[in-house]
Structure 1
């Protein structure tokens, strides 16, 4: 009888302990939403934003950004005069504080590579890459990328987000066309990708980087093996937003008409993030403002 009572008491204590024992607290992961878009605003007469004023370009870009609500935006083929109008329109449309920093491309003599003027002849600054960040102003930094000395010099723009301990970097790499790293082996884009990864690496911080990298994915087919090899190192170390299972590929982000008819569609735009962090990836192929579609990722960090 006493043994049964003791067993019942012990069982009750065990059950009570199981119910009331505190569970370890696991904080929810922080989220970060990132948008990359080659807006084709600088010198390509075939694009809708070509020769629009900085305020007009900012109006269109902010209108799309407001739909997807990013925290960080990477822009390529922007113009340096877009920075302040873009801050204004992003803040007006989203109700958040924004900071924009651009780095202009340089001609071979080191002078800024100009955007074509607007349709009224007004200057629009230099063709540039830009990073926009919502919230308190981050610490921006520009990193030169090794480029063909006879052609346009490229750069990456990075921003440290101290609250998330994240470093974000956007870039637009050499095109791969004749005269711009078109030689066998894609030596400049290979170096640029390595330099972009190095720029994104900050001790104690996680790296998120991307942009128009002007190479096709390793398992995508349809382009040179050199371009595939150039981007493979990023796939080895990070998750790419639109990766398809084991295959290192994704949906097309760039459409180019082919002489004689047809359209060449390729993935040239990327977002890389820490392993296991990608929660959503969207490629907007219906946007007609640019020859590139915007690419958007939601990350849990």
Structure 2
């Protein structure tokens, strides 16, 4: 069944942010469980240190110091030489009301340590390996000229105090430029910081000319952060084994995930390598976060998973030749989760594998009129086709049925995708969650799908059924 062609121009005039292209980091660049993410990354410039040096000076997390100095934050590095010690990600466990900083150097959250005494009282240190707690939550307070102040709220003995983070540039020796939550006055230059997004710009590697080939694709919303799903209660090993088994059942070459937790990527990668007979270093599992806007700012922080599983979002599993992956933020309802897609290149196959998770739509949900879902579909239809030489194999949990329409419209939400691509289970459109179809696999119109299978509810630890099929792509 070929759905009617609709003009997309009216839907494409939407503000969409593109997150930085990510190359594979070294093992030294980040903690092994957080090094697979395409989320936004930032440097933190100190105004006071920059003014004194006459050039931008960035904050470092000094992860090779010893004892209780390990991971201390200090404004001391020329920003032009910034590396993993000077790179941070932003996270939130309260829908953007507060933010936490995580160091790319060791994968740990920054704490304001109020148990220390004397000149280290309130010292900032990248040291929290667990979930975000009170010591890790900061207010990001906008100041003039694009600067921010970081404010920490400390309560003890029923007394609440608010401290701004200072970079103490007049200290000497190893404490020069130390960051400490200690100022209770109006922020001055010592308390001003600028977040500069690290956005390397590059295109994917050139796609190879390839003969016609068939690929086994699988998509699954794994429900890793929903307490009503059995998967939520699984240990990391149980999760990786359960997901890898579905990949084995599908003999998958490409796997798309939604409702995924960042720190599950590496254990799953290892399970795929063990179970799919490829051996070590044959798979890569990449991750991209869903985000919330930080209160009172135009800056975004990654939504966290429960149970100390890192950020929350989508993932793609592809062959380990992958070195380029890109997170693409989707226009989403104001004040709600900013949804995302993630694309990863497989050059030797000339395939771009993309996983997406659309906003929830309908009465009582984030997008009650389904207008943003329509924009997300129109954008995704264009975005996955923009990589020269690559054939898109994509899909995910799109949170809409094939026929549902926005309020006041006769055009189905997902029409732009059906206009340009073939869907694995069209026209059967079998249900993938309860009695409705929400999960999809698409490929170019010149491709052919076969063996499309919807998983069973029996023994399924998620509230979505996995969808798998074989796609035959023409020569390129």
TM-score with structure 1 length normalisation? 0.78
Task: Give 1:279 shift.
Answer: 2.3
Where 2:430 maps in the other structure, the secondary structure is coil
Matched, 1:253 2:425: no
Kept after mapping to 2: 8 A contact 1:40/1:47? yes
Kept after mapping to 2: 8 A contact 1:253/1:266? yes
Change (3 A) 1:228 1:292: farther
Matched, 1:269 2:439: yes
Which residue of the partner structure matches residue 18 of structure 1?
none
Matched, 1:155 2:155: no
Find the partner of 1:180 among 366, 376, 386. 366
Which residue of the partner structure matches residue 111 of structure 1?
301
Task: Give 1:266 shift.
Answer: 0.3
Q: Comparing both structures, which one devotes a greater share of its residues to strand?
A: 2
Where 1:49 maps in the other structure, the secondary structure is helix
Where 2:232 maps in the other structure, the secondary structure is coil
Change (3 A) 1:227 1:206: farther
Kept after mapping to 2: 8 A contact 1:169/1:196? no
Change (3 A) 1:68 1:175: same
Matched, 1:240 2:412: no
Q: What's the CA shift string for 1:92-116, capped at 9, x where partnerless?
A: 1112210011111112322221212
| Residues 25-174 of structure 1 mapped to structure 2, 5 A cutoff | 29-42=212-225, 44-96=226-278, 97-109=282-294, 110-117=300-307, 123-174=308-359
Q: Comparing both structures, which one devotes a greater share of its residues to helix?
A: 1
Q: What's the CA shift string for 1:58-94, capped at 9, x where partnerless?
A: 1210122112111111000110111100111110111
Change (3 A) 1:228 1:76: farther
Task: Give 1:28 shift.
Answer: 6.5
Change (3 A) 1:224 1:85: farther
Task: Give 1:137 shift.
Answer: 2.4
- Unaligned 5+ runs, structure 2: 1-209, 295-299
Change (3 A) 1:51 1:197: same
In the alignment of these two chains, the number of paired residues is 252
Task: Give 1:56 shift.
Answer: 2.3
Q: What's the CA shift string for 1:159-217, capped at 9, x where partnerless?
A: 122112121211110011535111x2x11111111222222112222222100000001
Where 2:303 maps in the other structure, the secondary structure is coil
| Residues 184-223 of structure 1 mapped to structure 2, 5 A cutoff | 184=369, 186-201=370-385, 202-218=387-403
Instruction: State the distance in 1 between where 2:382 and 2:402 align.
Output: 20
- Unaligned 5+ runs, structure 1: 1-26, 118-122, 256-264
Instruction: State the distance in 1 between where 2:469 and 2:395 align.
Output: 11
Which residue of the partner structure matches residue 299 of structure 1?
471
Aligned residues: CA RMSD? 2.1
Where 1:270 maps in the other structure, the secondary structure is strand
Change (3 A) 1:222 1:229: closer
